[in-house]
Amino acid sequence: MKPKVIVMSGYGINCEEETKYVFEQSGAEADIVHVNDLIDGIKKFSDYQILAFPGGFSYGDDTGSGNAYANKVKNNLWDDLLKFVQDDKLVIGICNGCQMLSNLGLVPAFDGEYGKRNIALRWNSTARYECRWVDIKVQSDKCVWTREMDTLKCPISSGEGNFYGEPDVIKRLNDDGQVVFRYIKPDGELAGGEFPYSPNGSTEDIAAICDPSGRIMGIMPHPERNWNFYNQDNWTLVKEKAEREGIALPEEGQGMQIFRNGVEYFGG
């Protein structure tokens, strides 16, 4: 049986269609569900195995990116959401969705304490919206979503992607293996906060984190936008090199592996 994915929508989320698409391409069934349909009981978290908070600019980023949407979820759906995450199910938050997970306290959720907020996504160090391709590298084998992965090229698209935590929080993330991705330079070295390799000035180049179980991941770059090799910013160069060296081109974009990992967790 195919796992079912609930893709959240409403109030300025604008990446739900492509998020639904990549999950379907990975072998899942996916529904786009407005948050009000969950609040009204028309749809239920319990009918799904994977929950996705897509990218966008919910509530126009008023009161801080992802904050108002997270409050709407927490004030109306918290008990149902908490049961979902405690039932060995998966959650992914991408860009604005990552900001929502942070505000909800679903990541990092040290010691399984969901609901406590102890990280923030602040304004980019450039003080402007950044939209560019970046390279990121897996930092831990804890996360379900990044199994069999090493590096990934995908776009960043945010004004508030600057990951911040107090020193004790950052240390705990590192010690517990909850830093999932870091920004890197094209040669594979850490970005070291250097723009544009680190597009936002994130603390220790952090691009994604997970909860202690590895089932909930918040990621600022957009892996769903690299679902097709020809979406990649350097595809012409890669294609030319492949033709000269006589090697096959990738059948799909690098980002697809994240969504396949989520589906395969349930045997899909």
Catalytic residue positions, numbered: 95, 222, 224
* Apex 150 CA angle, 145 and 155, nearest 5: 75
Percent of the chain that is helix, strand, coil (3-state, to 5): 35, 25, 40
* Apex 52 CA angle, 225 and 104, nearest 5: 120
- 3-state secondary structure at position 15: coil
Alpha helices (runs of H) in 40-179, residue ranges in sequence order: 67-86, 96-104, 167-175
Distance CA 237, CA 241 (A): 6
